[in-house]
Amino acid sequence: MPNFDQRSPLAIIKGVWIRFLSILTNFTFPYFVTVACHRMRGVKVGKKTHICRGAYLDDHSPQLIEIGKGVGITQGVVIICHQRDLTNYRPGMYAIDCPFKLGRVVIKDGAHIGIGAIIMPGVTIGEGAVIGAHSVVTHDIPPYCVAVGSPAKVIRTFGDKEQNKQ
């Protein structure tokens, strides 16, 4: 990631625009206006997807977020596509001096993300998966399951023959 003084004027204007739209999403109503603002920021959003006001979708690289059709993203959800790369971090260094590493976040059709959940970079959430409130998703989640906790773990899978007998 280049320093601010190394970015072109066009890149700076684009960054300001993305952050302006991010702030605007907190004041939009109804939900489809919020979704439209996220699309203008570069987030790929499918039809019939609801994104609540107060959800934070990465300002650094919103183009790395892909949300399918019929997805529900609730209040306070955080989806980020960048984090510090601590590979070369050593005593005496400042963590803030470590570069960012980027990762695409994909949320497949019909998934539901519970209140206050955090989705980390490089994660794919499977079709129809449900992420519990305040869960931290650090790895891929399979389709049609419920995942909760920090880090999120699958606690139930839908469509399992064993569970259908109960």
**Cα–Cα distance, 102 to 157 (Å, whole number):** 30
Q: What contacts 24+ positions apart, CB below 8 Å, involve 15-19?
A: 18/42, 18/59, 18/62, 19/59
Which of 82, 112, 134, 139 is catalytic? The answer is: 82
Which pLDDT belongs to residue 153?
98
Two structure tokens written together for 113? 């993300």
**Cα–Cα distance, 104 to 122 (Å, whole number):** 5
pTM metric for this prediction = 0.89
**Per-residue pLDDT tens digits of the chain, which is 166 residues long:** 455 557 899 999 999 999 999 999 999 889 899 999 999 999 999 999 999 999 999 999 999 999 999 999 999 999 999 999 999 999 999 999 999 999 999 999 999 999 999 999 999 999 999 999 999 999 999 999 999 999 999 999 998 655 544 4
The 3-state DSSP class for residue 6 equals helix
Q: Where are the domains of the chain?
A: 4-165
Which pLDDT belongs to residue 1?
47
CATH superfamily for 4-165 is: Hexapeptide repeat proteins (2.160.10.10)
**Cα–Cα distance, 129 to 108 (Å, whole number):** 8
**Residue 82 among the catalytic residues:** yes
